[in-house]
Structure 1
Amino acid sequence: MDYIQHYHNDALEFDYWGKDLITPAEIRRNQFIQHLCPIKKGQKVLDIGSGRGWFSLHCANMEAEVTAIDLSEENLNRIKNIDPRIKTIYGDACSINLPGKSFDLIVALEVLEHLVDPALAIDNWKKMLKTGGILFVTVPYKEVIRYSLCIHCNRKTPMNAHLHSWDAPKLASILENNGFYILRATLFAHKLLSALGLDKKLQKVPFRVWNFLDKLCGIGNDKYSYLAVKAIRQNR
């Protein structure tokens, strides 16, 4: 089974949309991303690997012009049903072809770790960004990749279909080699908060307090779960 069929089957097998399936930790991650990547009215945004579409829906609520791309027709249909303003496209992150389209912002949230050829994908994305446009990506940070048997094909496969482990220098290098200048790299979601069960216990705490605690936990160490990088497309 190839990876395209894998993600198609995955969306049919699992329901990612139930409110009870969105954990307090995931809600905090989403808040961090919204904080790090503010959306402007009228901004042309491409959400690559949109999944259950939370970021696309957020952008639409901010009155941006949003296009969501994913390998799951099921998820894309759900996004469209929730907000018809969002343009949805079935497509592969490594071979997107949108002639005449140019975006102010491209986001790829927890996508690069899944791709067979991340450099090819990034080069492809660059072509759809305006000069000076922003690419915003998030990845698991220094992930130790583990393996299990795939429920679809019964073959040894990396957990969560993650093919690559990323740190800040590795991610910066692949972006810079493909024509981007790094504006900001940020670690977030410290593992201590989850280890102490604070994701659930403090879920009603305002985001600014949570952000302070997250930074406080990282003093003197980098035990974070995620890395976000904002990069600008340089001149052609």
Structure 2
Amino acid sequence: MLQIKFSKTIICLLFLTLAFSASAQTKRKAAKKKTAKETTLTKTQPVAENDSIPVVKKNARPESESRMPPTEQTDDKVKSDAHPAATDDKSVYFYEFSKSDFFISKIFIEHDENGWGKITFQKKDFAEPVTDPLQLSPATLERVKATWQALNFLDSTENYQYEKDFSNLGTMKFTMKKDGRERAATFNWTDNKDAKTLADEYRRIGQQFIWIFDITVARENQPLE
């Protein structure tokens, strides 16, 4: 009899234990579901934008740098403006070549004592002559001025024209204006060594400048592909 009661007691305790365990598990599952729902709501809840917080760009430049003035250009045109070509009243030395039926029908070069001046040339297929600033290199200027001095041009009365006429080769003209004095000499061929040297110097100056001019125009208008 006692064994039967004891067995019933144990069975009741087992049922109570199972019931308590099931209830605890149910509460835990409910708590987990509630926590998961709260977490989901927290993640999906939109964040309100705060207009008072400025947006900082990573690549933004400092304000002081953005207000800096633009850098001055130092290209060739600006440099040439710093040393303008010699005007007519400052030019001392003049050279002119002309031949109407040549492709380059006219070349006129003038410059001052420092080598600053301008060059004018006329091409057969150009409607108007081209005039550009000119600066002689120190070595060229030294040779040119030395040749003018060797000719003693202002004080000389020599006619540089050769005894025969070679006007088919073109006409050259030297002119010097200095200290209120002026002298010019025109010839188409000469056997004077210094006059020939001076004409050759100016011819090279003109040919080099025109060659550079042609190359520059070709590069600007017909670039290589």
TM-score (norm 1): 0.23
Higher strand share: 1
Higher relative contact order (CA 8 A, sep 6+): 1
Higher helix share: 2
Task: Select the structure of larger CA radius of gyration.
Answer: 2
